[in-house]
Amino acid sequence: MIKIKKGLDIPLSGSPKQDIHDGPSIKHVAVLGEEYVGMRPTMLVEVGDRVKKGQALFEDKKNLGVFFTASVAGTVKEINRGAKRVLQSVVIEAEGDESVAFDSFTAAELASLTVEQVKKNLTGSGLWTALRTRPFSTSPAVDSMARAIFVTAMDTNPLAADPTVVIAQRSADFSNGLTVLSRLSDKVYLCKKAGASVPSVPAVQVEEFDGPHPAGLPGTHIHFLDPVSIKKVVWHINYQDVIAIGALFTSGQLNAERVISLAGPVVKNPRLVKTVLGASIAELTAGELQDGQNRIISGSVLSGAAAGGVHGYLGRFHNQISVLAEGY
What average pLDDT is seen over the chain? 98
Length of the chain: 328
Burial 134-154 (b: 16+ CB within 10 A, else e): beeebbbebeeebebbbbbbb
Q: State pLDDT tens for residues 306-325.
A: 999 999 999 999 999 999 99
Which has the closest alpha carbon to 39: 296, 319, 316, 318? Answer: 316
Within a domain: 303: no
How far, rounded to the nearest angstrom, does the alpha carbon of residue 8 sit from its chain's CA centroid?
24
Q: Categorize the per-residue pLDDT at 328 as very low, low, confident or very high, splitting at 50, 70 and 90.
A: confident
- Residue 280 in contact with residue 312, Cβ under 8 Å? yes
Is pLDDT of 31 > 80?
yes
Q: Is residue 228 part of a domain?
A: yes
Range of the domain at 213: 103-251
In a domain, 190, yes or no: yes
pLDDT tens profile 58-101: 999 999 999 999 999 999 999 999 999 999 999 999 999 999 99
Q: Rounded to 5 degrees, what are φ and ψ at 45?
A: -135, 165
For 98-146, the pLDDT digits (tens) are 999 999 999 999 999 999 999 999 999 999 999 999 999 999 999 999 9
**pTM of the shown model:** 0.98
The answer to whether position 70 is within a domain reads no
3-state secondary structure of 217: coil
Which percentage of the chain shows pLDDT scores above 70? 100
> Is 122 contained in some domain?
yes
Mean pLDDT across 151-167: 99
pLDDT tens digits, residue range 258-305?
A: 999 999 999 999 999 999 999 999 999 999 999 999 999 999 999 999
Going by pLDDT thresholds of 50, 70 and 90, the confidence category of residue 327 is confident
Q: What's the number of domains the chain is made of? A: 1
Closest CA to 298 of 282, 286, 281: 281
Of the candidates 239, 236, 235, the residue with the CA atom closest to the CA atom of residue 260: 239
**What's the pLDDT at 239?**
99
> Is 315 inside a domain boundary?
no
SS3 call for 97 = coil
Mean pLDDT of 227-243: 97
Domain membership flag for residue 80: no
Residues of the chain with pLDDT > 90, as a percent, come to 99
**Would residue 1 count as lying in a domain?**
no
